[in-house]
Structures are given as structure tokens and as C-alpha cells.
Structure 1
Amino acid sequence: MPEEANASQLDPEVRRDFRALPKMVAEDVGAHVVAVGMLLEQEPEKALEHARYARRKASRSPAAREANGLAAYYVGNWSEALSELRAARRMGGQSHLAIIADCERALGKPQRALELTREDEASRLPQDEAIELRIVGAGARRDLGQSEAAVVSLQIPELDPQRNESWSARLFYAYADNLLAVGRTREAFTWFVHAANADDDEATDAPERLEELVTELGGPEEAERLAARAETDTAVSEVSEGTVDTDLDHGTGDSRGDRRSAGSHDIDLGVWD
């Protein structure tokens, strides 16, 4: 148990979830749930041990089942993750609909994943979760051989290189990956550029994917040209105020001003020299 893990760090709503437990048990379980959050990114296997302990001690707690499900998902235990997150959802916990759908897809059930994207609850998700669910849905369509439909499903207003939200890099990356799957290599390259520019946390391997496409595009010179064009497209609204360009496939989106954060970055094209 990490020394700093303490039930007092839990959100008040989560702490209320443990009210039915004896006080000492509630404090113990709460500390293990806190430990899950602390370890999930860097040490998911250890996080899963803490989550399973909390689940054993508080199996009727949505928070404990949710922690178990998320930890299992991080280590790739799809069946366990699906079972626990479904249970938490039935008990009134957070839906984690995108993760549940992703588990269904990982277990070879893309049709079930798509069905989840059509549930009423999907229309009420916060924007970041709704976009994650859409990305999973596009992947499920590809699994079903509907690659063109996967591309179309991601052509949404949020697919705008002027934006740099928490989900932008993943959305741009998913769109690029699906474009590549249908043979639209040049457009895919452009959107991998946008993904790399939006990926301040380096959560994707967009730069590596760009390097892989250089030869297929005909060499460094053409790659440089396309990358420069992508950068121009990203800044286009600064000089075309009030003009809307709906050609999503070429990365222009609509002209709503430059909303990239100060921390956004250009791609180092030197690796192609």
C-alpha cells in the first residue's frame, strides 16, 4: 500500500458509497481504491491487486467494482473488466460506456460494441466520453469490414485541426488510421500530422506513423510538402475569418479561430532529411 494512500482522498460521493460498511472496513477499502488511482498509469498490475482486494471487501460497492474494472482494462483482462464495469453500471456507478464497448470489441464482439454506441445513454455522455465511444465504434465497423463507414463515422464537427481538446489527438489519430485502412494515404498523412501537433502528452505514436509513410508517399520531399500543407491548413482560419471550408478530408474544418493551446507543437521534419 502506498504510504500516501488514504480514504480521505476519495471524492465525497465515492466515500458515501462505502457508508454501509463498518468504519474500519470502509477506511481500508477506500485506501485501496485510492491506491488504484495512484498506480493505474505506471503500475497497472499492482493497481489491479489493490482493486481486487477492494472488490472482495466491498462487492456491493459500485466504486469498488468500477476500480476493479478499470484496473483490469488497463492490463488487458477484457472479460474481467467487462464483468466489473457492467456490474458497477447496474449498481448506479459511472457508465464507462466507451470502455465497455472497447472490451466487447476486444472479445471479438464488434456488433455488440456498435449496439452500445446506439443506446440512449450514448447521446447523454459528456463530450470527451462521447468522442471516445465514437472512436471505438469506428474500430468496430472496421472489424466488421465496414472501413469506409468507419471513416465517415468520424467526420464530425469536432474533427477540426484548429481544436486542441483533451480528445483531439486521439480523434485525429483514429481518423488518420481509418483513412489509411481504405488506401487514402495522403489524407491519412495529413491527419497524422494534425494528431502529432495536438498530442502534447505524447499519448499516440503519430510521429512514428508519419515516418513509416514517407517511403509510401514517394520520399522525404513529398512528405515535407504534405506536412507544410497540413500546417497551412491548421492556421487557415487566421487569414480567412468568416469563411467555412467543409473539406474535412483535407484538414481544414470550419473557421472558428486558432484554438490550439500554447503548448501545441510543430513536427520536427528533420527526421526525414
Structure 2
Amino acid sequence: MAITAYLAEHYDEALTEFRAVRRMTGNHEVLAMMADCERALGRPDKALALTKDKHVHDLSEPTQMELLIVAAGARRDKGQTAAAIQMLEVPELTKRTRADWLPRLRYAYADALAEAGRTDDALVWFHRAAGVDGDGLTGAAERAAELEGLEFTDLDEDDTVLDDEYFEDETTDTDDTADVIDAADAADAADVAVAEVDDAADVDDADADETADVIDAVDAVDAVDADVDDAAGVDGAGGVGEDVGSDG
């Protein structure tokens, strides 16, 4: 219940529950969270008093480091930034460890340096904090980018925008390609139609030529027949005359 209230930022309730846990179980590992609740409630002096509890030296290393971070924050709340920086200059800053408290300790130190106007030093320690913060929980990389004058943006959002723009362009390109293909097909169809018309015209011309040839041939035959008929008439007439004449 204490941790749930603490994570929900219900610090009054969390502090009450942490005190109950400590009283009933003798577990002093809750001191760091208790001090942070006091600080969140605007009581930095009470937070600092908890960091001097007689059981502090019995705490585990992670809890001692968290308590140190809270104590430095309380000093900064009181306007004692230089004192906060001095408190955080401990050997653990350069310790080789994968402990969760290391990026938090380095971030707190870098943040205090930035508040003191020591921008170059702060930039170094923000980078060092980011170097051990594989999950990016402290935001050290963003702070370093800000100090360097860079704009740090969410990569997932950029990827989304990029994907949207890419696919929009791709769709447009696809549509344009389809239009070109349709235009080409239309042109091909037009060419085919023209060719068919030309072929039809050629066929018609051929048929007309053939019809004219047939008509000419028929006319020629008719002319020949007429000539034959005329010739036959003449010969027939002459023969009859001759016959008659001969009979006569």
C-alpha cells in the first residue's frame, strides 16, 4: 500500500504507511522513500533529518545511494546547490556497475551542475549518465541534446510520420503509374482502332476495286456479246440475202 501510494504521488498516505511498515517490521530500507515523501511535501529539513538516521549505515548500497540523491535534492530545495554538488561527488560516481542507481546518481549530479551554471561539466555527466542508462529512464540523453542545442524528438513518432508520408507518396506514385498505364492502354486502343479503320478502309477500297473490276469485266463481256450479236446479225442478213439472191 505504501509503495502504491508513493507511485501514485499520494505522499501523505505513502509516508504514513512507510512509517507503519518500519515500526512493525524494523525494515529501515524504506528510509529513502520516506525522505523523498518529505521532500515532495515541501519539507526539505525533515527529509535531511531522515538522511542522518542512526540506521543509515545499516542500509544496502542501493538504498544509501537513493538516500544520497534525495539529500542532495533537499539541499537544492533549500537553495544550497553547491552543497548538493559536493554531496554527490562520491567515489560511486565512477564505479563500474550495472546497478539501477548509477544512472540516477550521475543524472542528479549532472542536473545539479547544470543548475549551478556549469554547463560543460553538466554535459559530460549527462552523457555519462546516458551511457549507463540502457532503458532511457533518466532522460539524460534528452538533457544532453538540449544543452548541445539539438532538438530531441520521439523516434517512434518520426517513424510513424515518415511511414505515413512514404506510403502516401507511394500511393500517389502508384496512382500516377496507373494513370500512365491507363493512358498508354487508351493510346494503344486508339491506335488499334485507327488501324482497324485503316484496314476496313483498305478492305472497302479493295472491295470497291474488285467490284469495279467485275463491273468492267461484265461491261467488257457485254460489249463482246454485243459485238458478237452485231456480227452475227450482219452475217445472217448477208447470208439470207445471198440465199434469196441466189434463189432469185
Task: Give the TM-score, by structure 2 length.
Answer: 0.58
> RMSD of the alignment, in Å?
1.5
1:181 to 101, 115, 121: 115
1:69 partner letter: A
* Partner Cα separation in structure 1 for residue 54 and residue 75 of structure 2: 20
Answer yes or no: is 1:196 the counterpart of 2:125: no
Q: In structure 1, the residue corresponding to 2:148 is in which secondary structure?
A: helix
2:19 partner letter: R
Higher RCO (Cα < 8 Å, 6 or more apart):
1
Answer yes or no: is 1:92 the counterpart of 2:28: no
Answer yes or no: is 1:151 the counterpart of 2:85: yes
Shift of the alpha carbon at 1:93?
4.7
What residue in structure 1 maps to residue 105 of structure 2? 171
Percentage of matched positions with identical amino acids: 47
Q: Any idea what the Cα deviations from partners look like across 1:195-253, whole Å, max 9, x if unmatched? A: 101002221111111111013xxx89xxxxxxxxxxxxxxxxxxxxxxxxxxxxxxxxx
What residue in structure 2 maps to residue 60 of structure 1? none
Q: In structure 1, the residue corresponding to 2:94 is in which secondary structure?
A: coil
Q: In structure 1, the residue corresponding to 2:27 is in which secondary structure?
A: coil
What residue in structure 1 maps to residue 15 of structure 2? 82
1:75 partner letter: A
* Partner Cα separation in structure 1 for residue 117 and residue 126 of structure 2: 14
Stretch moving more, 201-210 or 178-187? 201-210
Q: Is the 8 A contact 1:101 1:113 kept in 2?
A: yes
* Partner Cα separation in structure 1 for residue 25 and residue 95 of structure 2: 36
Shift of the alpha carbon at 1:166?
2.3
Shift of the alpha carbon at 1:187?
0.4
1:145 partner letter: G
* Partner Cα separation in structure 1 for residue 41 and residue 75 of structure 2: 15
Larger radius of gyration: 2
* Partner Cα separation in structure 1 for residue 37 and residue 147 of structure 2: 30
Shift of the alpha carbon at 1:142?
0.3
More helix by share: 2
Shift of the alpha carbon at 1:123?
1.4
* Partner Cα separation in structure 2 for residue 161 and residue 192 of structure 1: 16
Q: In structure 1, the residue corresponding to 2:99 is in which secondary structure?
A: coil
Shift of the alpha carbon at 1:169?
0.5
Q: What is the number of residues matched between the two proteins? A: 150
What residue in structure 2 maps to residue 105 of structure 1? 39
1:110 partner letter: P
1:118 to 29, 52, 55: 52
Shift of the alpha carbon at 1:185?
0.6
* Partner Cα separation in structure 2 for residue 203 and residue 212 of structure 1: 17
* Partner Cα separation in structure 2 for residue 123 and residue 185 of structure 1: 34
